[in-house]
């Protein structure tokens, strides 16, 4: 090869440092605090979550930061345990949903037109059923209400949305010239999926997965509320909300505290995902 | 010496619409070939067939006498090492999420070329006139012309015998076109180029041989100088007449 560098223009692009997006920091702190609280409960809790340690339906105090429930159990302890359950459910359901959804979506994107149509119709039919309804059907079919069943049910129910999004995103990437270039370069289809398709679809996908995390945490709360989620003594936020239903006017903090915990976790996960997407995107650095 | 031979190749869609009709041509090692025609003449389909991205409906394509069989994985591995391509749009032909190093190194990794990948990439970048530190950057940090150089570096990094270039300057401004044409001229000493273009002037600058395609048929072929000076087919004359020229100075 002949060197021709002397006659060529200078590269105009400039390397710029990655700036950490504010959403990544804020989301990281919120999720980190929830994670920390959840992990802490594996070793230590302020009180025994099943012990009656105070007066019934007591308001927040120095001894009981979030007050007590109708049996006199410490609410803050239960909220801390609920954080662990929410994270387990959210990440577990998203992992199951992503594993099923991304695989099916990629397969659909590569399928022949007829098979792709079948996949697309199947995804649309599944999406037409509310996630919670599908999850309830799966839990009912399994005839056991456990945390694992709830995670599995929510994951499977959410996978159709992930599959449909993956299919659309992957099809768009597969139509790009750089995929043809990769084929000409000798790359195999599995390698094209790993090197080109997944890195180009994950920024949109991760935002959707973050939404799914929030939906999963809320779906678990709803399942628990219906008695189909984590069975007692698991202090899921959904169960806490359910238990506070009857006393919401007399002791509102029993509903407010787990509600705040759930909302902040969902916001934190969404901010974290958005921040990660922005931080990992090379096209945001030194844009021409 | 015939490197690629196209024998009676036709291509038609399932609907029955014929794109290429009984094409015969040869690409010789060391002799750049220009494939010229208007939009819809079948240039890009011919390129896809030559790259093994599609199968002809009839006829066959031979590489050094061996039939191009896209289902033969072992054959295709060898074929890809010897035949590479540069595409029209430098903005969509480079993966925005891959660094320039990974883009240029892709053929070496995919084809398991036994070489020091780092030095091969640096060498390819130098050959197209890009500095070594370009490897750490991403496509969006480069201009259109520089992106096309990256695409050319990817095409030559595995040292192929033939590079198929599809309208590679049509998306670039005039001054950048000249630089890319000069670059291809320089690189023609180490690889043969088949230049697919609607721009007859570009082909004249790079290719000693030319074929003219009209509606999927070769209407004229031969040495470029002869075809330009004495076009035999009315379509070639029309193409030549439509080449833009500057008005004479007042």
pTM of the model: 0.81
At B49 the pLDDT is: 93
Give per-residue pLDDT as tens, A189-203. 999 999 999 999 998
What's the full length of chain B, in residues? 250
For residue B115, whether the previous peptide bond is cis, meaning omega lies within 30 degrees of 0, is no
Identify whether the C-beta of residue B141 lies closer than 8 Å to the C-beta of residue B94: no
The answer to the question of residue A117 being in a domain is yes
* Domain extent for A121: 82-284
At B232 the pLDDT is: 87
At A190 the pLDDT is: 94
Q: Does B173 touch chain A (CB under 8 A)?
A: no
- Any idea of the CA torsion for A116, A118, A120, A123, to the nearest 10 degrees? -140
In chain B, the residue whose alpha carbon lies closest to the alpha carbon of A6 is B129
Tell me the helices (H) and strands (E) count for chain B, helix number first.
Answer: 9, 10
Which CA distances in Å does B68 have to B32, B64, B84?
20, 10, 14
Give me A260's structure tokens: 């705040």
Look at B138 and A11 and tell me if their CB atoms are within 8 Å: no
The answer to the question of residue A270 being in a domain is yes
Q: Does B228 touch chain A (CB under 8 A)?
A: no
Other CB atoms within a 10 A radius of the CB of residue A115 amount to: 12
Total domain count, chain A: 1
The answer to the question of residue A236 being in a domain is yes
Q: What is the CATH number of the domain that holds A206?
A: 1.10.3720.10
Which CA distances in Å does B71 have to A145, B67, B175, B211?
51, 11, 42, 29
ipTM here = 0.89
Q: What is the DSSP letter of A220?
A: H
Average pLDDT, chain B: 89
**pLDDT less than 70: residues of chain A:** 1-18, 233, 285-288
In chain B, the residue whose alpha carbon lies closest to the alpha carbon of A15 is B137
Rounded Cα–Cα distance for residues B97 and A196 (Å)? 8
Rounded Cα–Cα distance for residues A121 and A279 (Å)? 35
The answer to the question of residue A215 being in a domain is yes
Domains and CATH numbers, chain B: 2-241 (3.40.50.300)
Residue whose pair of structure tokens reads 């006393």 in the numeric block: A247
Q: What is the DSSP letter of A231?
A: P
Å from A167 to nearest chain B CA? Answer: 19
Report how many Cβ contacts below 8 Å link chain A to chain B: 145
Look at B127 and A188 and tell me if their CB atoms are within 8 Å: no
For residues A181-219, one letter each, b for 16 or more C-beta atoms within 10 angstroms of the residue's C-beta and e for the rest, the string is bbbbbbbeeeebbebbbbbbbbbebbbbbbbbbbbbbbb
**pLDDT less than 50: residues of chain B:** none
Strand-by-strand arrangement of the B58-63 sheet: B18-28, B2-12, B58-63, B66-67
- Any idea of the CA torsion for B39, B45, B47, B49, to the nearest 10 degrees? -170
- Among the partner-chain residues B51, B96, B126, the one whose CB lies closest to the CB of A3 is B126
- Among the partner-chain residues B89, B156, B183, the one whose CB lies closest to the CB of A177 is B89
Look at A286 and B110 and tell me if their CB atoms are within 8 Å: no
Other CB atoms within a 10 A radius of the CB of residue A118 amount to: 13
Å from B201 to nearest chain A CA? Answer: 22
- Closest alpha carbon to B219 in B48, B7, B47, B42: B42
The answer to the question of residue A22 being in a domain is no
The answer to the question of residue A124 being in a domain is yes
The answer to the question of residue A40 being in a domain is no
In chain A, the residue whose alpha carbon lies closest to the alpha carbon of B112 is A186
Q: What is the DSSP letter of A116?
A: H
For an interface test with A, give the residue of B91, B97, B126 to mutate (most A CBs within 10 A). B97
- Among the partner-chain residues B87, B140, B189, the one whose CB lies closest to the CB of A180 is B87
- Among the partner-chain residues B53, B110, B145, the one whose CB lies closest to the CB of A185 is B110
The answer to the question of residue A134 being in a domain is yes
Look at A182 and B136 and tell me if their CB atoms are within 8 Å: no
Å from A177 to nearest chain B CA? Answer: 4
Residue A211, SS3? helix
In chain A, the residue whose alpha carbon lies closest to the alpha carbon of B180 is A8
Give per-residue pLDDT as tens, A17-40. 668 889 999 999 999 999 999 899
Other CB atoms within a 10 A radius of the CB of residue A137 amount to: 14
- Kind and range of the H or E run holding B185: helix B174-187
Contacts of A18 in chain B (CB under 8 A): none
């Amino acid at each position: 090869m002949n060197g021709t560098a002397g006659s060529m223009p200078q590269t105009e692009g400039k390397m710029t440092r990655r700036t950490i997006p504010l959403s990544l920091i804020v989301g990281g702190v919120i999720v980190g605090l929830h994670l920390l609280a959840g992990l802490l409960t594996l070793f230590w809790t302020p009180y025994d979550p099943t012990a009656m340690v105070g007066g019934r339906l007591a308001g927040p105090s120095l001894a009981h930061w979030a007050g007590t429930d109708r049996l006199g159990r410490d609410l803050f302890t239960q909220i801390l345990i609920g954080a662990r359950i929410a994270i387990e459910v959210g990440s577990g359901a998203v992992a199951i949903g992503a594993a099923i959804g991304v695989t099916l979506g990629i397969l659909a994107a590569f399928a022949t037109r007829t098979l792709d149509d079948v996949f697309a119709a199947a995804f649309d039919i599944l999406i037409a059923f509310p996630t919670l309804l599908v999850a309830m059907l799966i839990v009912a079919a399994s005839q056991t209400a456990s945390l694992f069943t709830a995670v599995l049910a929510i994951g499977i129910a959410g996978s159709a949305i992930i599959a449909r999004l993956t299919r659309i995103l992957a099809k768009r990437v597969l139509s790009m010239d750089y995929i043809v270039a990769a084929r000409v370069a000798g790359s195999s289809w599995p390698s094209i999926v790993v090197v080109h398709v997944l890195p180009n679809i994950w920024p949109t996908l991760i935002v959707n997965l973050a939404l799914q995390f929030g939906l999963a945490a809320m779906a678990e709360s709803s399942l628990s509320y219906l008695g189909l989620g984590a069975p007692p003594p698991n202090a899921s936020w959904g169960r806490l909300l359910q238990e506070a239903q009857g006393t919401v006017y007399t002791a509102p903090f029993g509903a407010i505290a787990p509600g705040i915990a759930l909302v902040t976790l969902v916001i934190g996960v969404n901010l974290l995902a958005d921040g990660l997407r922005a931080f990992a995107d090379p096209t945001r650095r030194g844009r021409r | 010496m015939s490197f690629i031979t196209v024998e009676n190749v036709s291509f038609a869609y399932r609907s029955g619409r014929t794109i290429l009709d009984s094409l015969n041509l040869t690409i010789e090692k060391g002799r750049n070939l220009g494939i010229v025609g208007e939009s819809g003449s079948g240039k890009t389909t011919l390129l896809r067939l030559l790259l093994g991205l599609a199968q002809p409906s009839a006829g066959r394509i031979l590489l050094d006498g061996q039939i191009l069989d896209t289902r033969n994985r072992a054959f295709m591995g060898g074929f890809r090492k010897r035949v590479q391509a540069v595409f029209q749009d430098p903005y969509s032909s480079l993966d925005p999420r891959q660094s320039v190093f990974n883009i240029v190194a892709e053929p070496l990794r995919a084809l398991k070329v036994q070489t020091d990948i780092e030095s091969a990439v640096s060498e390819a970048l130098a050959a197209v006139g890009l500095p070594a530190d370009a490897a750490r950057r991403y496509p969006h940090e480069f201009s259109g012309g520089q992106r096309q150089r990256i695409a050319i570096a990817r095409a030559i990094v595995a040292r192929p015998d033939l590079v198929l270039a599809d309208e590679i300057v049509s998306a670039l401004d005039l001054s950048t076109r000249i630089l890319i044409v000069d670059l291809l001229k320089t690189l023609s000493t180490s690889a043969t180029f088949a230049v697919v273009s609607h721009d007859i002037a570009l082909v004249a600058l790079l290719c000693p041989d030319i074929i003219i395609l009209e509606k999927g048929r070769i209407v004229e072929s031969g040495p470029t100088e002869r075809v330009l000076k004495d076009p035999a087919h009315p379509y070639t004359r029309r193409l030549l007449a439509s080449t833009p020229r500057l008005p004479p100075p007042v």
